[in-house]
Structure 1
Amino acid sequence: MNAHKTIELPTALLRDSAQGSTWHSQIPDDKAMLRAAVELTRDIAVARPGIYWPDMIASALLGYAALAAAILVDNTAAAVLLGVVSSLALYRALLFIHELTHMHKDALPGFRFGWNLLVGIPMLIPSFMYEGVHTQHHARTRYGTIEDPEYLPLALMKPWSLPVFALTAILLPPALLIRSAILVPLGLLIPPLRTLVWERASALAINPQYRRRKPEGDFARMVFWQELGCSAWAIGILAASFAWGWRPLAIALGVVALTALLNQVRTLVAHLWENDGEAMTVTAQYLDSVNVPPPGFFAAMWAPVGLRYHALHHLLPSMPYHSLAEAHRRLMGHLAPGSTYGRASYSGLAPLLARLARSTMTAGRRR
């Protein structure tokens, strides 16, 4: 396995981050890698409905079945185990939102509607929260800059920022419930609140300076119906809890909190987070991103739906998740040992978290 824990570059390419720059902005594009990524994968670039639909539906149904069992069972240990199973299954189902953002509208007819109906609205995370947002993260001139909604220079921040970043995820479930059940309906009566909720609480973003633009056209109509569905569902959940007790809701919130925490930890290792705001080449973006290819077994659990190949995804954003493993195999076989492509591969979650923690401690000493 080609596992790399550091990226070694000539000293001449290194620049003092305290002066407002990093080595990323000086990495030229590896044109041979970029060309190979496109040419070697043309025949596997089509999304296959026979994989997407069964995977998404089975994940969602397993998640809901395990959640129902966790609520109904009397044994605490069994309830916890079922809650973990539910969280992992719903995590996989939720991450299809990432595929939706890159999928052509005609690629899988009905899949967006089906996902929102089965997963997005019940989980209060409709697809509009990611659509139109995540693609900005892939924009050539935005990645790693202040205009990137999904980037923070975590490796250059204080060490305590990492646990705070991860643990804030457990606040997401109650925040989503409050948003859909209270803030969105109130926004119909209070326009400034509606604007605030849209700009600051309607996108799956980690950049606190990101402000979302007002939706327009067909997208605005889609947002309306998804918001209506989420608000009706959230209000119904609260009404049912008042009538029949809060235990089911508390367990459901705990399961979703675990899902959110798992996703936040995955986010910590999706990139190296070493850019401090300058625009980067595509190759630099690739090297600031992470692949965790096999044989690691657990990566398929904490980075499902193709996200273990996150660096490769930044080379081929529209490649369907079920083709990424084959694309990786082809590129590794085609490109020479020690090529740029192999330098984005890492061995697992723990080494990546350790690397990030060391980076924050080093950055802290520089200040």
Structure 2
Amino acid sequence: MTVQQHIDPALPRTAAMPSARQPIADDKDMLRAARDLTKDIAEARAGIYWPDMLGSALVGYGALAGAILTQSLPLAIALGLVSALALYRALLFIHEISHLHRDALPGFRMAWNALVGVPMLTPSFMYEGVHTLHHKRTQYGTVEDPEYLPLALMKPWTLPLFVLIALLAPVALLFRFAVLVPLGAILPPVRQLVWQRFSSLSINPEFRRRPPEGELRPRVFWQELGGSLWAITLVASIFVLGWRPLLIALAVVSLTAVLNQLRTLVAHLWENDGEAMTVTAQYLDSVNVPPPGMIAEIWAPVGLRYHALHHLLPSMPYHSLPEAHRRLAAQLGDGSTFHGANHPGMASLVLRIAKSTMRPHG
């Protein structure tokens, strides 16, 4: 979950694109192994999804309530951090929802929206029908990919801007649902603008969202209605409860947004110059941060530490990705293409991308 982000800001494309590079051919042995070795673990397990999502939300909201109610500043900060991490994990289930088969986990999407998506003003429609474009064979890394920018080929100042602008995400979402959605109900041009430009968790400023179709249309209506009513309630709460509760909540959500933006920054190497890529090239432009390190489970939870593997197996449930990675690593070996997407951690990835922005691209 571009949440997956918790919202990914649009940045201008300031890159000087490099000359064409040698294309990477598909590693058919790796693709075949990914398909054949994981068939028995491809089913989403309700006994894992539900407790994980519900527990994360419960801890997140409980810690947020404690941060608001306590008069101790150190305790408020500690509880705010716990809340941000727990709600971050709960929020990233939006990524799973965008890939779940329509018949898998009955009621999960509705429950997640009611408990997490709408209260955090990031309902699932903002990712559904958008994130799957990022996985299209001919669209990944191109101008038609809503979740791709060639960050490694852009100017150095774009990286801190990319991360820090996420601080504004909660205020932007509050304004969208409290002001723009009601205004759009009256003025169709506003509605069209909001839908095209401000209704998806995308980072590509050239992306324009198409009108919703099929089953998504009624979901958009109800989720936007719920989000709008909740946003208006939050704004109105300052007249009853004062500014403190809302400001603390916004600070917590800002922290989740920045953390997600950092995760997004290192989810790919961002080295594609806009050309269509093979599946193997897309895999190698994506990132796995496998064990033994455990800190990645905090900043890339719900399976997102295996982001490159996810691009090989987009429908694989998050709880099966560790086992899928173990099987493929054992089968293909350390010197294989599969090993080429493994990286040690966030710091080394940020440094790699930052160094790339400082090189001349021409």
Aligned mates of 1:121, 1:128 — CA distance in 2: 10
Aligned mates of 1:336, 1:236 — CA distance in 2: 55
List aligned pairs for 1:272-283, cutoff 5 A. Answer: 272-283=269-280
Which residue is equivalent to 1:179? 176
Whether 1:22 aligns to 2:28 is: no
Unaligned runs of 5+ in 2: 1-15
* Maintained 8 Å contact 2:151/2:357: yes
Residue 21 of structure 1 and its aligned partner are, at CA, apart by: 2.5
Unaligned runs of 5+ in 1: 1-16
Whether 1:244 aligns to 2:263 is: no
Aligned mates of 2:87, 2:350 — CA distance in 1: 24
Change (3 A) 1:76 1:20: same
Q: Secondary structure at the match of 1:147?
A: coil
* Maintained 8 Å contact 1:136/1:149: yes
Aligned mates of 2:243, 2:18 — CA distance in 1: 53
Which residue is equivalent to 1:157? 154
Whether 1:304 aligns to 2:275 is: no
Whether 1:200 aligns to 2:212 is: no
For residues 331-358 of structure 1, what are the alpha-carbon distances to aligned partners after superposition, in whole Å with 9 as ceiling and x for unaligned?
0101133000001000011000000100
Which residue is equivalent to 2:103? 106
Residue 237 of structure 1 and its aligned partner are, at CA, apart by: 1.1
Runs of 4+ in 1 over 2 A off after TM superposition: 17-23
Which residue is equivalent to 1:61? 58
Letter in 2 for 1:138: H
Aligned mates of 2:278, 2:64 — CA distance in 1: 44
Whether 1:148 aligns to 2:136 is: no
Letter in 1 for 2:20: S
Q: Secondary structure at the match of 2:293?
A: coil
Partner residue of 2:322 out of 325, 348, 359: 325
Aligned mates of 1:366, 1:132 — CA distance in 2: 33
Q: Secondary structure at the match of 2:357?
A: helix
Aligned mates of 2:298, 2:291 — CA distance in 1: 12
* Maintained 8 Å contact 1:22/1:275: no
For residues 244-278 of structure 1, what are the alpha-carbon distances to aligned partners after superposition, in whole Å with 9 as ceiling and x for unaligned?
20110000000000000000000000000000100
Letter in 2 for 1:68: A
The count of corresponding residues between Structure 1 and Structure 2 is 347
CA RMSD of aligned residues (A): 1.0
* Maintained 8 Å contact 2:17/2:273: no
Residue 63 of structure 1 and its aligned partner are, at CA, apart by: 0.3
Q: Secondary structure at the match of 1:188?
A: helix
Aligned mates of 1:100, 1:234 — CA distance in 2: 23
TM-score (norm: length of structure 1)? 0.93
Aligned mates of 2:264, 2:214 — CA distance in 1: 31
Which residue is equivalent to 1:41? 38
Residue 18 of structure 1 and its aligned partner are, at CA, apart by: 4.3
